[in-house]
């Protein structure tokens, strides 16, 4: 396997972006899934459509919207610029792109986990004196842990593969915003670098397989602790 120093950077950057995107999205994903599953309110359908939109939109379209929003003249970009914060073409932009694209997958998995909780368990906790936040932390959170785990793995994996939105908002700057897929894209465009591209592909496979194994291992561990 042949890896250039930029490739190593790309690997670390990919991992950093995917991890950060997943970690940042988790509390939001959990809250939104909880709202959708347990709270009756007007306009729930709109929230659902909005959350799922990135799943159906081409990532390039999302990237373009993000660019409009976060760019120098965008609503948020302008506001952040006043505080000296620049997002576009930094690794933070890659995080935002990954988070946006992977968010629906995270919410869906957590939601599935929450929907499988028997409502009477929540009724039981309430009649035993638990307030909503208490029930959320002691019943809903642990019982939807499988969904959270599955959602996080999915989102992490999806973030590793993020290309379309990332290339638009973060660019493809080696050592700064170039993640594994972007690096492979560069190598693939010149016929002499097939081996390099292949090496990075192997790394990609390795990371994905590790994520899947870790997920399986944690799920089994969870099952075992429940069986005691």
Which residues form the interface with another protein (CB under 8 A)? 118, 120-121, 123-131, 134, 138-139, 142-143, 226-228
Q: How many angstroms from the chain centroid is the CA of residue 80?
A: 23
Least separation, in Å, of the C-beta of 122 and another protein?
Answer: 9
For another protein, give the closer residue by CB, 135 or 153. 135
For another protein, give the closer residue by CB, 100 or 125. 125
Give Cα separations from 220 to 105, 213, 225 (angstroms).
Answer: 22, 11, 9
Least separation, in Å, of the C-beta of 217 and another protein?
Answer: 19
Least separation, in Å, of the C-beta of 110 and another protein?
Answer: 16
Give Cα separations from 128 to 34, 120, 122, 147 (angstroms).
Answer: 21, 12, 10, 26
For another protein, give the closer residue by CB, 78 or 119. 119
Helical segments of the chain, H only: 5-38, 44-56, 59-70, 75-82, 91-115, 119-127, 132-135, 141-143, 145-160, 164-169, 180-188, 194-227
Q: Are 204 and 185 in contact (CB under 8 A)?
A: no
Least separation, in Å, of the C-beta of 19 and another protein?
Answer: 27
Least separation, in Å, of the C-beta of 40 and another protein?
Answer: 12
For another protein, give the closer residue by CB, 45 or 227. 227
For another protein, give the closer residue by CB, 64 or 132. 132
For another protein, give the closer residue by CB, 116 or 190. 116
Q: For 158, phi and psi rounded to 5 degrees?
A: -65, -40
DSSP annotation string for 167-206: HHHT---TTTT--HHHHHHHHHTSGGGHHHHHHHHHHHHH
Least separation, in Å, of the C-beta of 138 and another protein?
Answer: 8
């Amino acid at each position: 396997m042949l890896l250039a120093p930029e490739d190593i950077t790309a690997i670390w950057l990919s991992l950093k972006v995917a991890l950060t995107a997943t970690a940042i999205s988790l509390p939001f994903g959990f809250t939104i899934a909880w709202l959708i599953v347990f709270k009756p309110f007007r306009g729930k359908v709109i929230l659902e459509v909005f959350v799922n939109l990135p799943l159906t939109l081409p990532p390039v379209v999302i990237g373009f919207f993000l660019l409009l929003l976060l760019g120098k003249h965008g609503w948020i970009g302008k506001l952040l610029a006043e505080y000296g914060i620049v997002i576009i073409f930094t690794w933070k932009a890659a995080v935002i792109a990954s988070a946006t694209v992977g968010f629906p997958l995270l919410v869906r998995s957590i939601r599935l986990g929450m929907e499988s909780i028997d409502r009477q368990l929540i009724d039981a906790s309430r009649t035993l004196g638990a307030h909503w936040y208490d029930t959320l932390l002691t019943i809903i959170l642990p019982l939807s842990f499988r969904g959270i785990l599955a959602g996080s793995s999915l989102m992490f994996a999806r973030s590793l593969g993020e290309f379309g939105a990332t290339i638009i908002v973060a660019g493809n700057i080696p050592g700064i915003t170039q993640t594994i897929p972007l690096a492979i894209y560069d190598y693939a465009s010149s016929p002499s670098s097939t081996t390099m591209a292949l090496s990075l592909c192997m790394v990609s496979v390795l990371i994905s397989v590790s994520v899947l194994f870790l997920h399986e291992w944690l799920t089994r561990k969870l099952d075992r602790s429940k069986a005691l």
